[in-house]
Every structure is written in structure tokens, then in C-alpha cells.
Amino acid sequence: MTLIALNSHSSTPLTDQIVSAFIKLVDERALRSGTRLPSIRQFALDHGVSRFTVVQAYDRLVAMGYMGSRPGSGFYVSPRPRPSVSKEPPLKLERAMDVLWLLRNALRQPSAVPAPGAGWLPGSWMDEDGIRRSLRLLGSKSGDFLTGYGHPNGYLPLRELLQHRLAEIGITADTQQIVLTKGATHALDLVARYFLRAGDCVLVDDPGYFIMFGALKTLGAKVVGVPWKADGPDTAIMEALIREHKPKLFFTNSVLHNPTGATISQANAYRILQLAEKYNFIILEDDIYGDFHPGKPTRMATLDQLERVIYIGSFSKTVSSALRVGYVVCKQEIAEQLSDLKLLTGLTTSEIGERLMHQLLTDGHYRKHIERLRQRLQESRGNAIHKLEKFGLHPFVEPAGGMFLWISLQSRTNPVELASLAAEQDIMLAPGTLFRPHQENSPYLRFNVAACNDRRVMDFLSRNL
């Protein structure tokens, strides 16, 4: 059965014809949600095209949210979110805040190799070819985006795509609730500066993201650490800290936590939401590593639907740190103020980078790239754990995914001294003290599994442990 009409003599590639025709059928309700679609083989036979052409088209439609695959069953029309009907909010510049603009340098890629203490994947693991293809395609287009400022909230088609991606993990958000940022750190900074004044208390993960600790202290915030367990923050200790310090915000990295690799349990997430409701504070949920998780982890933003949770994501760890594309999702009234603050402190974000990211997400490469990264990380993680266990070193928790292992040296040696010795031999280690809110002592090291296959790392540990 022929589903759509194709023109082999058209200058429009057959893949583009299939995608645009399918989108039209779904948008016009000619194809309803849940409708089973022809298999790749059957579609190719019915329409006289190659399987490769159909694979490309189906990949793009899955990435754009128009189609979904069910293992062992086939492809189906995906449910579409209702179109946004909200109007563009007016700018409220009168609510400008007199705060310090935090210009903090990101961690630089060290020239020393290997770097098991690094917080990013090696460049060779990333989809450089896909980025180059997208750059060439973007460069062939004309428009003001090459020379002008973008929209205050960011490139709308990317926000629409993020709206669909959020719906896939159960978060319902209008495009006006999404503000694009220069990575997750920029999003964290905007939220902190909107909510906090000097002397305000903030709860953070202990251990946690050390660059954020410095940023919060720069704003004059009182930073208090909440210990992490295998299933997330220790809520008993957390409640005691809340009663004592009365925090305004809780900053946490809930999925594949940096540095421990742990993921919050549903019971733990519910308990934290109960505490937020009882004691009236906001949760900032950083989900920068979520795409590395092979399953369906709990997100507090999904359980809470953005009532008390502000949700942050980024593509810096999965695609490219150079593109600096992140986003913050929250209640619309907060999003409007964050957009205003974004304008006042840095104008708009780069539409070139946002268009490039949109292209990468919609051409089907991102999904395949993430699947490759997950598999490669799984193999590297297993190898790293096996090698470290030979030295009697065991992880705090065996992560479900991601790049980090949190390894205790117990009392065998001082991690800071070991890291200093490693630096002298051009090996970068990350001692646990860095990840404590006030640089407290720690017996841990954070290992990046992507860098643990280098023989020099294990040789160094063998000599010095």
C-alpha cells in the first residue's frame, strides 16, 4: 500500500520528501497517534525506494517525535504535544537585579595525557563527523542568524524539540517555559542570581559540583552540604540541616551524580519533594548526564511537574563543550524573569550554536551517537572496575551508566598527595577534597572510566598504592 506520493525527478531528496509528507499527514490528523506504520522493508517495496532512504527518514522522524519504535512490534505514530498557545511575554526590565556577573573559566582540557580526573569525554569519542556535516549544511543557509542576535529565550525550533524530549521523560512544559543558555553552568548561575541574596542559605550535594560551590560563594550565599548515599541525598540529615539553616534552594545532580555516579531512587525523590513543600524551598535539578543512563531513571521534575523543581540540561557532555548549548525549564513566570536576567547579563545566546544543535538532534545522528557512547562507557566502566579491584579499590556504587567512578583509597594514601605526584608525571587525578563544599578532607578519588584504559594510569597506581 502506498502511504505517500514520491517524485524521483524532484530536486528535493527522497528522504526529505518522506519526512515532510509524513509530518503533514500527522499534523493534519490523517495519521492518528498509535497508528502502526509499514516496516522499513515494506515501505521501501511499496514506494520503490532503497531501504537506506527509509532508514534515514524513519530515524529523522523518530528524532523529531513523530514516530516511535517498539522492539519486536515495529514503528508507530507518536502522540504529539498540544501546540503552544501562550503569547510572547513582555520584557520586565524594571526587575533588574544588582548582582555580580560571574565570569568563571570552565575547566580547561589539560595538555597532559592521560586524564582520569577529567570531567568530560575524550574528543575522539564525540561525533566530530556529524558536527562537521551539520556545520557545512548550516553554512550553506542564509539569514540574519549568521550576524544578528537571537530570540531572548533561544531558537524556537530547538525549544520545540526540547518540549518533545521533555515529554518523553514525563515533563510537561510549554516552549515559553524553556530558556536556552550557554551550557548548564550558565543556567545554574541565572537561577542562583535570580533567587539568592548575600547571606541566603543554599543546600548542595556533598560531594558535588565544585565549580558551582565557587559560584554560589561569589554571590555571598551560605553553602551547606547534604551527604549523598547510594540512593541519593541523606534525607534524615537533610531535614535537620533544613530546620537549622532554612535554605532557599537545593542544588542537586540527581541522575548519574557527579562525582559518585549514583542515581536518586523514587522513594528518595518523593521524600525530598515532601521536604521542599513542608519547608518552602526550591529544588534545582541538574540532569546534565541523564542521556547516558540506559534506563528510565527518576527525575524530580517529572514527579513534581515544575511546581517546586527547576530543571536543567545541556549537550556539553554528550555532543560538544564548544557549542555551549544548555537549557533551563521552570514555571513560566520564573522563565520570563530568567530570560530578562539573561538579556541583562549577556544578551542572547548564539543562534548559530542552537541551530547547529537542532540540526544534530533532528537528522537522527544524536540517537545513534548516544547509543554508541552508552555501550562504549559500559565496556570501559567494567574494565576500569576490574582493574581497580586488583588494587583492592572498590567504587562507592557501581553506576548504571555515565563516566564516573567514586573510589575510596581508605587509609592507604592521601588522595591530594597522590594527585600531586600524578601531576608531576603528566597524569591528571581528581581528589575528593575538590568535590566537598568547603574543601573538607576526603578519602576518595573520582575516576573517568573513559581515561582508565591507558596503561600509564594503572602503572602509576600500581607503583604508588
Instruction: Look up the CATH number of the domain holding residue 431.
Output: 3.90.1150.10
- Per-residue pLDDT, 9: 83
Which of 8-17, 26-35, 93-102, 261-270 has maximum average pLDDT? 261-270
Give percent of the chain with pLDDT exceeding 70.
Answer: 92
Instruction: Let me know whether 312 and 381 are in one domain.
Output: no
- Per-residue pLDDT, 1: 63
Instruction: Let me know whether 435 and 321 are in one domain.
Output: no
What is the spatial distance between Cα 387 and Cα 409, in angstroms, rounded to a whole number?
14
Instruction: Let me know whether 197 and 340 are in one domain.
Output: yes
User: How many domains would you assign to the chain?
Assistant: 3
Which of 61-65, 107-111, 443-447 has maximum average pLDDT? 443-447
Instruction: Let me know whether 345 and 401 are in one domain.
Output: no
- Per-residue pLDDT, 84: 53
Instruction: Let me know whether 325 and 194 are in one domain.
Output: yes
Instruction: Let me know whether 266 and 143 are in one domain.
Output: yes
- Per-residue pLDDT, 83: 54
Q: How far is CA 167 from the centre of its chain?
A: 15
**Single residue among 362, 396, 411 that ends a domain in this structure:** 362
What is the spatial distance between Cα 388 and Cα 378, in angstroms, rounded to a whole number?
15
Q: How many CA atoms lie within 13 A of 233 on its CB side?
A: 30
Lowest-pLDDT choice from 138-142, 285-289, 448-452: 138-142
Instruction: Let me know whether 62 and 189 are in one domain.
Output: no
Domain that holds residue 408: 367-464
What is the spatial distance between Cα 295 and Cα 255, in angstroms, rounded to a whole number?
11
Grade residue 312 by pLDDT with cuts at 50, 70 and 90: very high
What is the spatial distance between Cα 8 and Cα 15, in angstroms, rounded to a whole number?
11
Instruction: Let me know whether 349 and 371 are in one domain.
Output: no
pLDDT tens track for 155-190: 999 999 999 999 999 999 999 999 999 988 899 999
∠428-402-404 over CA atoms, to 5°? 30
Instruction: Let me know whether 253 and 304 are in one domain.
Output: yes
Residue 219 has pLDDT above 60, yes or no: yes
For residue 113, the SS3 value is coil
Beta strands in 359-433 (DSSP E): 404-408, 430-431
- Per-residue pLDDT, 35: 87
Instruction: Let me know whether 399 and 339 are in one domain.
Output: no
324-347: average pLDDT = 92
Residue 444, domain member (yes or no): yes
Residue 89 has pLDDT above 50, yes or no: no
C-beta neighbour count of 448 within 10 angstroms:
26
Grade residue 82 by pLDDT with cuts at 50, 70 and 90: low
374-385: average pLDDT = 94
Grade residue 192 by pLDDT with cuts at 50, 70 and 90: very high
What is the spatial distance between Cα 102 and Cα 341, in angstroms, rounded to a whole number?
13
